[in-house]
Amino acid sequence: MGKEAGGGDAVEGLVVVDKPAGWTSHDVVARMRRIYGLKRVGHAGTLDPDATGVLLVGLGRATRLLRFLTETGKVYRGDVAFGVATDTLDAAGTETGRSSMPALTGDDLAAVLPRFLGSIEQIPPMVSAIKVDGVRLHERARHGEVVERAPRTVRIDRIEIESFTSGEYPQARLLVECGSGTYIRSLAADLGEALGGCAHLAWLRRLRVGPFPIEEGWTLDQIAESPEAALLPMVEAVRHLARVDVDGDTARGVSHGAVFPVTALGGDEPGPLAVVGPDGRLLALYEKGRAAARPLVVLTGG
């Protein structure tokens, strides 16, 4: 595709990637750099190597929008394997404990799920990207370290049992809708403990990030074949935000990062506001305060 898209415009926008198993999020970014011939590529929300599903990748100036996507809600489908614990809380780790749970039923699991709904405290796994004293936990874990991790407040809005298989080592497929920062691996381990045993996450697929479902996802091979078709314009990257369309005079002020009276950009919705010019392109994101609307990100002018 090269460094320029059709019409002479620099390549920029959002791609909804269906990440394959065995790839890190960094691996995907590196592949996207090669496909699009760009250095300025980033992703919103790390997905574990063994997990598959939605990974949002920003190109060019769209990387400046990724922080507004990282904090959006997520939907996952995952398999929880009961009776076996691992050091990473998922199937990639080393087994650390085994105790069969033949008496466990789907009703037993359903009975404890309400404990995990709403705002809950969750201890991040050692194999995660969270930093402790400036060093990521997964780097410490690689050197055999185990450090104390402070609990973090996360939000889980829905847990649905899609299937349950009984036996010596039962397994359940769950659909989980949650807020940013939730570790499904930790949820799996905590469910095992709540049921008087242990568990780990055997398989995970991310079905949605914010307003972007897996149905909009492209595999890496599909992207390589049709890079322009896979690329969403920047205005689509913030489809979840309130939008205001402005005329030419206002657009010029927005392009220069002007501060406007709070009523000038319209809209009463809280949070960032996507400001779109007469040509349909995203110009900036603004934040409305009590008396004024101020720019958060200005995308025009290079």
Assess if residue 1 is contained within a domain: no
Q: Which long-range contacts (CB under 8 A, 24 or more apart) does 281-290 make?
A: 281/233, 281/234, 281/235, 282/233, 282/234, 282/235, 282/237, 282/238, 283/246, 283/251, 283/254, 283/255, 284/254, 284/255, 284/257, 285/65, 285/68, 285/238, 285/241, 286/254, 286/260, 288/262, 289/262, 290/262
pLDDT greater than 70 at residue 28: yes
- Smallest Cα–Cα separation from 258: which of 223, 289, 225, 294? 294
Which range is least confidently modeled, 16-30, 147-161, 201-215? Answer: 147-161
Q: Could you give the number of structural domains in the chain?
A: 3
Give the integer Cα–Cα distance in Å for 174 and 80: 8
What's the pLDDT score for residue 290? 84
Q: Are residues 58 and 144 in the same domain?
A: no
Does the annotation count 48 as an active-site position?
Answer: yes
Average pLDDT over residues 243-259: 93
Show the domain range for 260: 241-298
Compute the distance between CA of residue 1 and CA of residue 228 in angstroms, rounded to an integer.
Answer: 8
Residue 273: band (very low, low, confident or very high) from pLDDT cuts 50, 70, 90? very high
At 200, the pLDDT band (50, 70, 90 cuts) reads very high
Given this model, what pLDDT does residue 10 score? Answer: 79
* 143 domain-assigned: yes
Q: Residue 240: is it exposed, middle or buried by C-beta count within 10 angstroms (0-12/13-18/19+)?
A: middle
The active-site residue, picked from 48, 79, 90, 190, is: 48
Strand partners, 288: 293
Which residues is 276 bridged to in the sheet?
245, 282
Q: Would strands 242-245 and 152-165 be described as parallel, antiparallel, or unpaired? A: unpaired
Query: Is 268 a domain residue?
Result: yes
Based on the fold, state whether residues 84 and 190 are members of the same structural domain. Answer: yes
Same domain, 201 and 81: yes
Task: Check residue 248 and give its pLDDT.
Answer: 92
pLDDT for position 266: 78
Q: Is 85 helix (H, G, I), strand (E, B) or coil?
A: strand
CATH number of the domain within which 149 lies = 3.30.2350.10
Q: Which two tokens stand for residue 150?
A: 């402070």
pLDDT in tens, 157-173: 999 999 999 999 999 99
* Cα-Cα-Cα-Cα dihedral sign, residues 119, 121, 127, 130: positive
- The reply to whether 277 falls in a domain is yes
Backbone angles phi, psi at 283, to 5 degrees: -95, -40
Residue 246 lies in a domain: yes
Q: Are residues 184 and 215 in the same domain?
A: no
Domain match, 55 and 124 both: no
Give the per-residue pLDDT at 201.
97
Question: Does 111 share its domain with 154?
Answer: yes
Question: What is the pLDDT at residue 33?
Answer: 97
Rounded Cα–Cα distance for residues 235 and 246 (Å): 14
Residues 31 and 52 reside in one and the same domain: yes
- Whether 146 and 249 map to the same domain: the answer is no
